[in-house]
A and B are shown apart, each in its own frame.
Chain A
């Protein structure tokens, strides 16, 4: 491939607080002004102190999460957004919290890890078994082609350098394909795994954020490019793997349903989203339908990656906070809210303008507005349950004969 000297010799790369390059950023440019970014950073610091006080008072994070009397408070706090530095600890903990109304048992990373260990399966063994060059035309070959196409503008996943993030991502995805041969690998899982690696292993981005926070003269961090070739902590990578396993298999998040042959869960979720939109915003839904613009045309990546493929991390991380605690409801709420936030624009557009607008939307989505709208939407758990039953497809339906429902 063509060498891109300019980029690689630039020793003064600028990162946003999430670890994405700020220069030449298209996808990930946080769509707010520097001022708003500073405001958000100040808010993050405030919440950081609040979480520290809250959990200290309760006698630790686990105790805080486990106490029934705190459930409402926990939900409230999580909906506002978990402070960045806390996600590494809080995401696995949230998955283990029993919330009401509870549809199914809470299960977290630790329980999947323990269950596997009882069967003699360890992350190290899975890695060892899947090391080496991928066999030709194998699923590992498909994984290989996606490694450098996952967050190429994030400091952990820099394309050219075979950075530590890429190596971690390779091991995690290969290990999962070995661990769950029915699911193996489906494009989209790469973003989810990378998102978890960034948040669980990428302590440097938290450090970077801290440093920038402590430097009042600028809101973003400058670093020499050599510095970010850090080695990821092996045990943190293992934590990320089991959290990935839990996110796929836990009854609350059950991402695994999305990815199997025929991707039935993805098609179901798109239908549920479509029905929820029709219910809450009938005029907008009718307009889009008239223009032949359907959710699978623009929202497949929203659902399949739970927003993580193209949206700014300011949105992604907040959705995932709630996803780990509450499951799919907040995901649907945010999906509907994204369209609702731009209803006026959308209703003035024809098919092609709609498609272009929706294609470019992740770049400039107004994150605060979306969450504010999402919190006001009247989308109920039992409605979602009903729709999920209505659109249920057989588990390995391969869709040879009935394409996505219209």
Chain B
């Protein structure tokens, strides 16, 4: 018997990436603790939080890694992409350059993350309507072109935040389920047990080679 938080069917590792100051840490605190801090501090290194959600009758625990945004920190933070099955790539709708840098972040994922990682493009600070410089259409077109999920959020007024996480976790779950069904042509194949870390990658990603943050 564990605490309710410990009872889950699947554990997914998700990373939050994007330029500094786009609101990654506040998205994390809004989702996991329903908190927003106007006087937040810049993240040095990585931070970590978990939250469980229910989707399609299954409890999914998300283990979320929030990373420092400055390019220089990728030397430290890129190690955290390993084993991640999802990435929220965040930009600020009121700072166009943070949207332009999305391409660089995608390259970073291609270089360091699993090939099958589910990526969701997140336009944060949607409450700053009068300061908007990245239109929803522009971002949506970009997301379609690069085959990314897309959503706009405001960590400040909470809109879209739960949906963003719920959607990416559901998508990971479905993708994993499909892979699982393809792999187990019969019911005798290996099934994933509660608490086991799920990976969408291939063989080089078995638990033995995983070094980070899994249970």
What is the interface of chain A, defined by CB distance below 8 A to chain B? 1-2, 4, 27, 136-137, 141-142, 145-146, 149-153, 159, 186-188, 190-191, 259, 261-264, 266-267, 292, 294, 296-297, 300-301, 304-305, 309-310, 350-352, 355, 359, 397-400, 403-404, 406
Q: A261-B72, A355-B48 are in contact. Are A292 and B38 (CB under 8 A)?
A: no
Docked Cα-Cα span, A350 to B6, in Å, equals 12
Q: Are the CB atoms of B76 and A263 closer together than 8 Å?
A: yes
List 15 A–B pairs whose Cβ atoms lie within 8 Å, in order of A's numbering.
A137-B97, A145-B20, A146-B20, A149-B21, A151-B41, A152-B39, A263-B73, A263-B75, A263-B76, A292-B211, A297-B45, A397-B75, A398-B75, A399-B76, A404-B76
- Kindly identify which residue among B44, B97, B100 contacts A187, using a CB–CB cutoff of 8 Å: B44
* Residue among B20, B46, B47, B63 making CB contact with A142, cutoff 8 Å: B20
Q: Determine if B20 and A187 form an interchain contact, defined as CB atoms under 8 angstroms apart.
A: yes
Query: Number of B interface residues, CB 8 Å?
Result: 35
CA of A29 to CA of B100, assembled, Å: 39
Q: A145-B21, A263-B75, A399-B75 are in contact. Are A27 and B211 (CB under 8 A)?
A: no
B residues 65-95 in Cβ contact with A at 8 Å: 68-70, 72-76, 78-79, 82
| Residue from the set B75, B211, B213 with the largest chain A CB neighbour count within 10 Å | B75
- Does B111 have its Cβ within 8 Å of any Cβ on chain A? yes
Q: Across chains A and B, which 3 residue pairs bring their CB atoms closest together, nearest first?
A: A300-B45, A145-B21, A399-B75
**Chain B binding surface, main DSSP class:** loop
> Any chain A CB within 8 A of the CB of B110?
no
Asked whether, in the complex, the Cβ of B214 is within 8 Å of the Cβ of A2, the reply is: no
Q: Are A300 and B46 in contact (CB under 8 A)?
A: yes
Partner of B41, one of A150, A262, A359: A150
Contacts of B72 in A (CB 8 A): 186-187, 259, 261-263
B40: Cβ under 8 A from any A Cβ? yes
Chain B residues with CB under 8 Å of A1's CB are: 38, 156
Distance to closest chain A CB from B124 (angstroms): 13
Q: Are A351 and B70 neighbours in the complex by a CB distance under 8 Å?
A: no
User: Is there an interface contact between B76 and A352, defined as CB atoms closer than 8 Å?
Assistant: no
A309 and B21 form a contact (CB under 8 A): no
Closest to B68 in A: A187
**Given the contacts A137-B97, A400-B111, A351 and B45 also touching, CB distance less than 8 Å:** no
List of A residues within 8 angstroms of B78 by Cβ? 399, 403
Closest to B210 in A: A292
B156 — nearest CB in chain A belongs to which residue?
A2
Q: In the complex, what residues of A have CB within 8 A of residue B41's CB? A: 27, 149-152, 309-310
- Which of A141, A153, A301, A398 is the one whose CB lies under 8 Å from B44? A301
